[in-house]
Structure 1
């Protein structure tokens, strides 16, 4: 057996291990979705707590009006929630847009905090800490500036949070509002449903684990106070604070009936910057929490750390090695003696991958189709390769930042004006 054979087999087995994990999580997620859909998801309360909805926003004038309108339209008791928009060192007309919204809604508690380059402009975590300093709610809700949550989302999240003292946070589901804009947004839509939503549901079903997605979630104010707010060094502040909630002994619940719609990057350059920031943030969180894998005090969080390590180590290495072997074989530099065996396993892996994703799409209205199956197949040979480039770029940037002691910078996702033909109404 040659070295090329060994590397090829490693790649195949690594992919199958990850696929087996995803299949198991998808099965759990499918069961959990089915159970939730048998109910309306509500846990009515005798008295609803005060909620502070915080929206960090930097140069978001294109989308912020639509977002605030959706937040004002919640069916949650209007006297029981406030909206705090942190207009974080924006250079566009966000301040004027928000002022006009305030003028049109004088009877609603809509607070706008306009920061400058001294106090603000340092990323989402810093903006959230600023907003939290004026928040009055016993429950904190977070929404990104491009979100349009459905009217019942907040009530569902809060009711489920208050239903059990062991729950530290409750997350909802987020959908791609502009899924029909480009081929890229179609890929993102499938990825979101199959891996971020379904896998989250499966992890909760089996392990009472969910990672906060950064938007459309609620958490207890007491938790934020106890942990001292958001880590300003964390680019993935959602993952970082999730791990701290786990270590406190709480668990995070998913309520898939609480839905928000968000604008995803429609251009590759914007997507690449966003995903590089996410990957850099996750690398930071992994390094920060790696020690807890061997520490019982880490509790169930240890599974999540291990899960992230598998994704970033096994998937990254297997995809890189398989591509190297494939290209080298075509160029005649190496010869894989087990090529027939490995080819069979690869073909089987591709078939199982497509089948697994299609099963997860089956739970969503208008998502299961032959077109979707074709897109999933294309994703495997394009989108996954882009993910490798993103992670490699994030690793290089993280190492470079550490060597040269650069301050962590937040690369904001650029928004665009959506047309009537690419919104959620056409899903």
Structure 2
């Protein structure tokens, strides 16, 4: 393709627009670069340009029009009028005169000083054309310039004084004059009082409306000082950290104690539990064999019902796609100017070794970086991870959030703390080792737009990137495929209460705050939150997007993780079964049964070793008392449990991997009864901890090198 620059064409824009030519360039390109294709002449496309000599403009236009291009000089007013005719303007989406002046000055200042290259400027301008975000913010997000350089440039353009906050010790009385919600929402913080004028640090110059709001809140005149956004963010956390920590720990406990796990057993549950044990003891004295037969029969029946329930869910989902799907065309059609800020909460603890990989994977997301709000949640005593994050000098869409050291030291408490400083309309949790599909955030937004208003959460699917590492990781991947490809989609389609996965659950931030977010005392906070959402009339939908995690390849590490999950399932069941009648009234009998068969299934794992021991002992000893435990109907129920239960467990693991197309690990599902043994081991460990250390968070080690995985 040949291109040329021409200043005086024989045909002018004022002669009229040819409809076929007018839409050759998208609106964002036209408005950003002040260009407008208006006619075809002698095999060339005539494009009106305010600056026909600009090389970047020529390159951008010629790369997007499949014909030789001639730039024809026109006035900016003529071009804007033609653009408005072709693309009727939406007032809130238009760049203001002041914003454009700042953008042009910024570009000139940075290029003339050699701080950015023409290539970096062109890339940033194209991103601005798509998203409408400020040029300086885009350059910082792309690491083309530092935050300090941007602040210096804005200071020069707006003739505003700067203030350094890196080693600043705030006067708390002054710093807290501005109410926390305003300080956090607008990133504004008072730093000094100078003879009745309050000096406030701001990340970007405030407009007249915001300045008036701040002055009204503090009841005195205000002068703005530009500050580094990262330093200001950390200072606001320091000033209001105690408040955030209190909310993160006690909000749910104080506002809805009946559904908080801060008490393991309610008084009623203690009375019922002790009463049941006493009753069993009495019957054991009066008629020991009949009592044992009754207990075996009851356990067998529960076991059988749970197995049939999961089998039924699987059959409904098998061979179908019950998740919400977003087509490539729908994703491409999203207007980036309308995309909201999206908060990503990433809890970290002793994981400094994988921070670089985490940053790489977050930056790989197909979402404007200027609209990302990534909160790296670090515990105060995890100095190694905090130092690693700070040493990387990350762009400001990454925020290091330091959670004050207090009990309980759990992931949900850290997430609650992060939620206090979240800026996004939507938020999602990712773990440090997660690798979400690049378009997952956009798929979640499409899902929220397509579903009913009461859908407060959309859950992505989880699986593993190291499933081929060993037998344990293959079993783990089989289980995840079953759970996220079959069981949860079927539950979501039936609008049943869904126990959320640990990551990739996307929320409407306002509803999450309304519910008190996560229970800091529940060690499987995601499952509990899924039930609480359902209790309040909200629903969860599944989306067809996958996040790959690192499967535990070590049995001790796996046991630590799984015992915590089971303990959290026990906690969740106990919390929501404190008032069974009230729960039925809230969610209905059908969902009540579903909840018990889902959460209560963790108790089924406790039965496995008992039945396996009885079976093994009978095989080797032919003990008559064991045979006597299974008379008539009990024997048939137990036999059905043995065959149906094991068949269902193997079938589910096979079906999940087949549904996902992971044919290489399906054969390992045939050995999954051995995996069931590990699950029972972890279940017993978690059950015992329920009495000895209920809020202890067993740390799962992550950070497997990619070379080891592949």
Q: Does 1:188 align with 2:476?
A: yes
Does 2:87 correspond to 1:87? no
2:323–2:489 Cα contact (<8 Å) kept: no
SS at match of 1:362: helix
* Residue 61 of structure 1 pairs with residue 349 of structure 2: no
Distance 1:344 1:279 in 2: 25
Correspondence 1:118-157 to 2 at 5 A: 118=406, 122-157=409-444
1:284 and 1:349 map into 2 onto residues whose CA distance is 25
Specify every segment of 5 or more residues in structure 1 that has no aligned partner in the other structure, as ranges.
403-407
CA contact (8 A) 1:293 1:306 kept: no
Distance 1:111 1:304, change over 3 A: farther
Cα shift readout 1:195-244 (whole Å, capped 9, x = no counterpart):
34421111112234422212112101112221223221111111122122
Which residue is 1:325 aligned to?
614
Moved more, 339-348 or 229-238: 339-348
TM-score of the superposed pair, with normalisation by structure 2: 0.53
> Structure 1 residue 264 and structure 2 residue 560: aligned?
no
Q: In 1, Cα distance between the equivalents of 2:644 and 2:571?
A: 35
Distance 1:115 1:225, change over 3 A: closer
1:153-200 C-alpha deviation (Å, 9 max, x unpaired): 111122212333110100101111221222211111111111344211
Moved more, 350-359 or 192-201: 350-359
User: Who is 2:651 aligned against?
Assistant: 355
Alignment match, 1:376: 669
Matched, 1:279 2:566: yes
Rounded to whole Å, the distance in 1 between the matches of 2:295 and 2:329 is 47
3-state SS of paired residue (1:33):
coil
Query: Among 303, 312, 335, which residue is 2:602 paired with?
Result: 312
Distance 2:568 2:640 in 1: 37
What residue number does 1:346 align with? 642
Q: Superposed, which structure 2 residues align to 1:13-92 within 5 Å?
A: 13-30=301-318, 32-33=320-321, 47-89=338-380, 91=382
1:269 CA displacement: 0.8
Distance 1:60 1:421 in 2: 18
Pair 42,286 (structure 1): closer, same or farther in 2 beyond 3 Å: farther
Contact 2:322/2:490 (<8 A) preserved: no
**1:98 corresponding residue in structure 2:** 389
Equivalenced residue count is 407
Change (3 A) 1:55 1:258: same
In the alignment, which residue of structure 2 is the partner of 1:405?
Answer: none
For residues 24 and 40 of structure 1, the distance between their equivalents in structure 2, rounded to whole angstroms, comes to: 32
Q: CA deviation at 1:32?
A: 4.5
Where does the alignment leave 5 or more consecutive residues of structure 2 unmatched? 1-288
Give, in whole Å, the separation in 2 of the partners of 1:15 and 1:116: 44
Q: Which residue does the alignment assign to 1:400?
A: 692
Please tell me whether the aligned partners of residues 367 and 439 of structure 2 are also in contact (alpha carbons under 8 angstroms).
yes
**Larger RCO (CA within 8 A; separation ≥ 6):** 1
Quote the offset at 1:416 in angstroms. Answer: 3.6
Considering only aligned residues, what root-mean-square deviation do their CA atoms show, in Å? Answer: 3.0
Question: Distance in 2 between the 1:41 and 1:249 partners?
Answer: 32
Query: Are the structure 2 counterparts of residues 129 and 347 from structure 1 closer, same or farther at C-alpha, using a change threshold of 3 Å?
Result: closer
Alignment check: 8 A CA contact 2:319 2:659 kept: no
1:128-175 CA-to-partner distances (Å, cap 9, x unmatched) read 122112111111111111111120111112221233311010010111
